[in-house]
């Protein structure tokens, strides 16, 4: 620790900067995962020909193989990388502003808001499901977080009230979703299929639909890495350093929620990515958010692409719901994080 003479307080040492080696390693892991996702499946593709086809060059692929690569696997792999990166960087952002290592992108009502929006469309507007579900899920996720934030701020300052408000809003929206489901019991299979999450409906249209929101949200989060490091020392210390903690918290929460809503809109509910990936990054590269945020973006993409590869190959020709697979991986990890957090607290 070193003293800040003007304010008379102690602050943490200067956070670590992002080094080229871990950044290159994370980028290489993402590229390797994407290559595996493109080449592996019920119909394996030759690497050289597939690579040439991806870059628009002449290849030896048959018309069927070319269509499989460019219209099915490539958009699925790219969307998986984008969704995984968004969930991971959003999780890191939530953990930074809430100062809670167990915070994840669905903590403040995003998942239940998205679930309610999607269920309303499936039950009451089935003819509009193809384009209505992503829009409704996106709107519901943002609405759930906005409601939780508004109630939390009205209840009082601090991150604890915000988390409690998120729990209350999630319970309320989950009850509303259950009520809506009762009016459309004949469509429960479609509702549960969406809630379990997956990338089977990937398309270039879905990718281009969320890309602008993904760029804005990730850009804002990456630019706030240094400020999240300042918030880690506490609101009073941050204020003494000239940082408006409340404003930073609102901006980061809004960006993380936008990232979550974008991911949920096209993939359904995929849990634990926002907990597993940021914690793995912290263990390997340190706790500075200038390091955690960009590495989580890359590692989250690699994690979900590989998880999706397992989901569509383990039970081939069937497909395991992606949210189920990430829960199998993430639940034990969550318990390990909880145990280590309690051990440090005691």
> Which tens digits make up the pLDDT trace of 273-287?
999 999 999 988 888
Asked whether 262 and 142 are in contact (CB, 8 A), the reply is no
Across 156-173, average pLDDT: 87
**For residue 341, what pLDDT is reported?**
65
Instruction: State the sign of the Cα–Cα–Cα–Cα dihedral 21, 26, 27, 29.
Output: positive
Across 250-265, average pLDDT: 93
Determine the Cα angle at 160 with ends 88 and 158, to 5°: 100
Cβ neighbours for 156, distance < 8 A, ≥ 6 positions apart? none
3-state helix, strand, coil in the chain (%, to 5): 75, 0, 25
Using a pLDDT cut of 70, give the percent of the chain over it: 94
Higher per-residue confidence, 196 vs 335: 196
Across 230-251, average pLDDT: 82
Across 174-189, average pLDDT: 86
DSSP 21-52: HHHHHHHHHHHHHHHHHHH-SSS---HHHHHH
Of 105-114, 248-257, 292-301, 316-325, which has the strongest mean pLDDT? 292-301
Angle at which helices 289-313 and 74-98 pack, to 10 degrees? 140
**For residue 346, what pLDDT is reported?**
58
Q: Is the pLDDT score of 1 beyond 50?
A: no
Point out the least confidently predicted range of 209-223, 239-253, 305-319: 239-253
Q: Is the pLDDT score of 12 beyond 50?
A: no
- Write down the pTM of the prediction: 0.90
Across 258-280, average pLDDT: 93
**Could you tell me the maximum CA-CA distance found in the chain, to the nearest angstrom?**
71
Q: What are phi and psi of 185, to 5 degrees?
A: -60, -25
Rounded Cα gap, residues 257 and 29, in angstroms? 26
Asked whether 230 and 97 are in contact (CB, 8 A), the reply is no
Confidence label for 189 from pLDDT (cuts 50, 70 and 90): confident
Interval 88-101: pLDDT, tens: 999 999 999 988 88
Across 220-228, average pLDDT: 94
Nearest residue to 39 (alpha-carbon basis) of 22, 54, 21: 54
Across 2-14, average pLDDT: 42
**For residue 13, what pLDDT is reported?**
41
Across 327-344, average pLDDT: 77
Q: Is the pLDDT score of 3 beyond 70?
A: no
Distances (CA, A) of 5 to 279, 282, 290: 34, 31, 25
Higher per-residue confidence, 148 vs 184: 148
The structural domains of the chain, ordered by start, are: 73-345 (1.10.3470.10)
Q: Is the pLDDT score of 49 beyond 70?
A: yes
Interval 62-89: pLDDT, tens: 889 999 999 999 999 999 999 999 999 9
Confidence label for 41 from pLDDT (cuts 50, 70 and 90): confident
Confidence label for 2 from pLDDT (cuts 50, 70 and 90): very low
Calculate the average pLDDT of the chain: 87
């Amino acid at each position: 620790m070193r003293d800040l003479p003007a304010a008379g307080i102690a602050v943490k040492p200067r956070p670590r900067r992002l080094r080229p080696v871990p950044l290159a390693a994370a980028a290489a892991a993402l590229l390797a995962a994407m290559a595996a996702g493109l080449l592996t499946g019920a119909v394996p593709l030759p690497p050289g020909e597939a690579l040439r086809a991806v870059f628009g060059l002449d290849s030896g692929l048959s018309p069927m193989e070319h269509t499989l690569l460019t219209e099915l696997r490539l958009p699925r792999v790219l969307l998986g990388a984008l969704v995984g990166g968004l969930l991971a960087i959003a999780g890191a952002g939530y953990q930074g502003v809430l100062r809670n290592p167990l915070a994840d992108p669905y903590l403040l009502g995003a998942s239940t808001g998205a679930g309610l929006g999607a269920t309303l469309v499936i039950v009451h507007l089935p003819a509009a499901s193809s384009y209505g579900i992503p829009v409704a899920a996106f709107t519901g996720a943002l609405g759930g977080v906005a409601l939780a934030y508004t109630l939390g701020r009205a209840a009082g300052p601090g991150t604890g009230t915000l988390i409690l408000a998120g729990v209350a809003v999630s319970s309320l929206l989950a009850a509303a979703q259950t009520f809506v489901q009762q009016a459309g019991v004949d469509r429960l299979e479609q509702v549960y299929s969406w809630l379990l999450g997956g990338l089977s409906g990937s398309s270039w249209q879905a990718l281009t639909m969320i890309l602008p929101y993904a760029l804005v949200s990730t850009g804002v989060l990456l630019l706030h890495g240094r400020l999240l490091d300042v918030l880690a020392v506490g609101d009073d210390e941050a204020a003494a350093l000239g940082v408006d903690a409340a404003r930073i918290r609102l901006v980061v929460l809004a960006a993380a929620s936008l990232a979550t809503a974008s991911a949920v809109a096209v993939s359904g509910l995929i849990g634990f990515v926002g907990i597993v990936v940021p914690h793995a990054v912290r263990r390997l590269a340190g706790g500075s958010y200038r390091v955690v945020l960009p590495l989580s973006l890359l590692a989250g993409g690699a994690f979900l692409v590989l998880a999706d590869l397992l989901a569509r190959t383990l039970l081939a020709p069937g497909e395991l719901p992606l949210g189920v697979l990430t829960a199998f991986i993430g639940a034990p990890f969550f318990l390990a994080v909880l145990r280590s957090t309690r051990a440090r607290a005691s």
